[in-house]
């Protein structure tokens, strides 16, 4: 389960467009940062997506992807033209296809590689969707099938695109907007697939066009309800509305770290067998089986688009670092897999994260102030980069990742040396122990 947010220039402090997303996946489903250059392709060539091949286009744009390690596509990403996209699982009355096909994350990457504007990206997805449909397992540890919604933005505009199999509706964003794991478009939309309303009428989901509501007609109640999508959608909408006109990158960082009770010293991720926060931590299933495995914020500012990525899970326990698509990523070590690797950026932080989970408030407070100071330093350095060269920006990115890596090691040692009273509920401890054993953690 995930959350994606956007604020247009009429709602941000500096008049830019700011996009943000948390990707919620299985706790051992490591998230990978990938930079792919602009590439020309031979006529008649094919592109292999997660499960199937489709015809390739003559040239694909450079992209920065934040993705589950085993999937060709991505949960979020940006391209060289400043197009950014995040996807969400949505659950509909039309059964999700189980045969290997194109999945939502494939559509996201295909759109980034082929579109120079948000509107073009919407067209890429809908045309491919109507031709190929969407199907295939999207889960890592457990088979998981669903349809998708997308939040698509560029420096000028943003769109929400929500789907049910090959059917879809799209709404142009006017100021601020968020999506979660439910269809949020109702009876007003700007674009739609042919027969969207008629299909619902034929199945008795509504009586007429006047009675039509996309979310009400097409949504599966049970999965949508237990994803806690409505509460998270309301929460992200509330956070955006509260700062409308003053939204900054820091606003989005805070939103992605939100636990509803963020300002309460009593918050702990080991409480509750249901419900989910924007910053999600896994616990005892079957509902709380995933966590925020990666986070990304893109600041679409005229002249220089800056991506802020964690490259790690649980943004409340980690650091956002700056990346520019044209200067690329520094050496991040081996690509992460589904088991612990102390050389991997993602797993190095996961050791810290799961150590913090053993006594969340006490252990996070041991380094939170330093974390905030480091992150503010990164932000200040980026603000001073008005016309820096590619080399200067890559150097700063590498410096920030190195600083974050050293801090992570230091914080991990510090929190793991703290006596662990472990008063957590037994079911939460069982869930954490099981995930650690599956990942072959050194606990």
Tens digits of per-residue pLDDT, 132-169? Answer: 999 999 999 999 999 999 999 999 999 999 999 999 99
In a domain, 374, yes or no: yes
* The Cα angle at residue 435 between residues 288 and 273, in degrees rounded to 5: 20
Mean pLDDT, residues 311-323 = 97
In a domain, 305, yes or no: yes
**Among 118, 129, 102, CA closest to 47:** 102
In a domain, 52, yes or no: yes
Q: What percent of the chain has pLDDT over 70?
A: 98
In a domain, 143, yes or no: yes
* The Cα angle at residue 407 between residues 401 and 412, in degrees rounded to 5: 125
In a domain, 443, yes or no: no
pTM above 0.85, yes or no: yes
Residue range 48-105, pLDDT digits in tens: 999 999 999 999 999 999 999 999 999 999 999 999 999 999 999 999 999 999 999 9
pLDDT at 387: 77
Q: How confident is the model at residue 238 (pLDDT cuts 50, 70, 90)?
A: very high
Say which CATH number the domain at 392 has: 3.60.60.10
Of 147 and 260, more confident? 147
pLDDT at 272: 73
Name the domain count of the chain: 1
Is 316 marked active-site?
no
- Catalytic hit among 2, 49, 138, 279: 2
- In whole angstroms, give the CA distance from residue 408 to residue 307: 21
In a domain, 396, yes or no: yes
Of 287 and 335, more confident? 335
In a domain, 208, yes or no: yes
Residue range 377-398, pLDDT digits in tens: 999 999 988 678 899 999 999 9
pLDDT at 425: 84
- In whole angstroms, give the CA distance from residue 3 to residue 255: 10
Q: 233 lies in which domain range?
A: 3-438
């Amino acid at each position: 389960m995930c959350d994606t947010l956007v604020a247009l220039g009429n709602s941000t402090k500096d008049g830019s467009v700011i996009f943000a997303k948390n990707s919620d996946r299985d706790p051992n489903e490591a998230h990978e940062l990938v930079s792919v250059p602009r590439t020309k392709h031979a006529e008649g060539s094919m592109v292999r997506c997660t499960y199937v091949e489709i015809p390739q286009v003559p040239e694909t744009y450079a992209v920065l992807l934040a993705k589950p390690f085993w999937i060709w596509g991505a949960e979020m990403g940006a391209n060289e033209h400043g197009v950014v996209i995040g996807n969400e699982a949505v659950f509909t009355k039309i059964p999700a296809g189980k045969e290997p096909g194109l999945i939502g994350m494939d559509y996201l990457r295909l759109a980034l590689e082929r579109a120079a504007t948000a509107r073009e990206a919407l067209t890429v997805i809908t045309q491919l969707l109507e031709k190929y449909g969407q199907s295939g397992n999207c889960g890592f540890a457990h088979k998981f099938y669903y349809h998708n919604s997308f939040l698509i933005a560029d420096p000028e505009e943003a769109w929400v695109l929500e789907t049910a199999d090959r059917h879809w509706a799209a709404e142009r964003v006017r100021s601020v907007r968020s999506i979660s794991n439910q269809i949020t478009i109702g009876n007003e939309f700007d674009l739609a697939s042919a027969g969207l309303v008629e299909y619902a009428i034929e199945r008795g989901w509504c009586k007429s066009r006047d009675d039509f509501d996309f979310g009400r007609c097409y949504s599966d109640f049970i999965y949508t309800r237990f994803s806690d999508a409505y509460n998270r959608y309301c929460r992200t909408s509330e956070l955006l509305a509260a700062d409308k006109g003053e939204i900054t990158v820091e606003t989005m960082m805070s939103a992605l770290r939100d636990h509803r009770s963020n300002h309460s010293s009593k918050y702990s991720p080991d409480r509750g067998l249901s419900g989910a926060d924007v910053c999600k931590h896994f616990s005892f299933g079957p509902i709380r089986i995933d966590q925020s495995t990666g986070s990304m914020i893109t600041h679409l500012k005229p002249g220089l688009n800056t991506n802020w990525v964690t490259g790690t899970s649980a943004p409340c326990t980690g650091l956002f670092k700056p990346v520019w698509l044209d200067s690329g990523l520094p050496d991040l070590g081996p690509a992460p897999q589904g088991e612990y690797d102390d050389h991997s950026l993602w797993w190095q932080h996961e050791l810290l994260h799961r150590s913090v989970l053993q006594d969340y408030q006490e252990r996070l407070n041991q380094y939170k102030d330093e974390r905030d100071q480091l992150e503010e330093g990164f932000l200040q350095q980026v603000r001073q980069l008005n016309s820096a060269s590619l080399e200067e920006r890559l150097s700063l990115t590498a410096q920030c990742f190195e600083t974050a890596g050293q801090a992570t090691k230091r914080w991990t040692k510090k929190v793991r040396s703290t006596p662990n009273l472990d008063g957590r509920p037994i079911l939460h401890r069982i869930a954490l122990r099981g995930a650690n054993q599956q990942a072959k953690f050194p606990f």
